[in-house]
Homo-oligomer: A and B are copies of this chain.
Amino acid sequence: MTSPTTFEFNQIGIIHSCYTEKFGIPRQPGLVKETTATLELLPPFNREDTLDGLEGFSHIWVHFIFHQCIQEKWKAKVRPPRLGGKAKMGVFATRATHRPNPIGLSVIKIGKIHKHNKRIFIDLHGADLLDGTPVIDIKPYLPYADIQADACGGFAPEKSPAFPVKFTEEAKQQAITYKNKFERNLLPLIEQVIEQDPRPSYLSNTTDRQHGVKLWNSNVKWLAKNDHFLVTEIEIEE
């Protein structure tokens, strides 16, 4: 009974998201409210009746797989970005990706549940999930059980402060061109993604260095200035 065993799970869905690479993904859900994504149920789970009653809830728990980390070894100790990448913490005291089982958990605000042909989608707001992420379960968020008002949050007691983000005239114009072409307003999304400071900790004290982050089919270039970030260019990847 006490010898460890293994369990096999089937993917039940997939995430479609603006985050097409790991770099730039917010470190927790809900930080970038502008993010829109969808969760698509996959066969044989793509049945509308599995979602009956979900419309009364505002949020769901999404259990997903850190699929780009699945081949990597787990680590007993990791360096959380919240501690500047310096101090090491036990992996079970963090939500790091290199876990013994690469299972992620996000609470996400849901929008419309809709159908296209036989495909079933749940709109997600503020998801911190990579495009293509496999989903293994969805559960309703139950405020009476999940809100632990007296909880204390160790080394991550509150949100990191946001960093001011500015845009060059050129970048603003490119965002307008992008919007006309793809009907997506990139400016607030870029602002909310970059104000989280997605830079790796070892670069967090450098200035005037160019960084890039991919959002949908755009490649956003920005510089770290002394007291703000400056978005200089929005390239469209055709």
Task: Say if the beta carbon of A33 comes within 8 Å of chain B.
Answer: no
Q: Within the oligomer, what is the number of copies of this chain? A: 2
Closest Cβ–Cβ distance, residue A110 to chain B (whole Å): 10
Tell me the complex Cα distance, A148–B126, Å.
13
Task: Say if the beta carbon of A145 comes within 8 Å of chain B.
Answer: yes
Known pairs A143-B153, A159-B144; A7 contacts B5 (CB<8 A): no
From B10, B90, B153, A100 is in contact (CB under 8 Å) with B10
The answer to whether A9 and B143 have CB atoms under 8 Å apart is no
The answer to whether B11 and A6 have CB atoms under 8 Å apart is yes
Closest Cβ–Cβ distance, residue A141 to chain B (whole Å): 5
Tell me the complex Cα distance, A63–B64, Å.
12
Interface residues of A (CB under 8 A from B): 1-12, 14, 28-30, 40, 42-43, 45, 47-61, 63, 65, 70, 76-77, 88-95, 99-101, 103, 105, 107, 109, 132, 134, 136-159
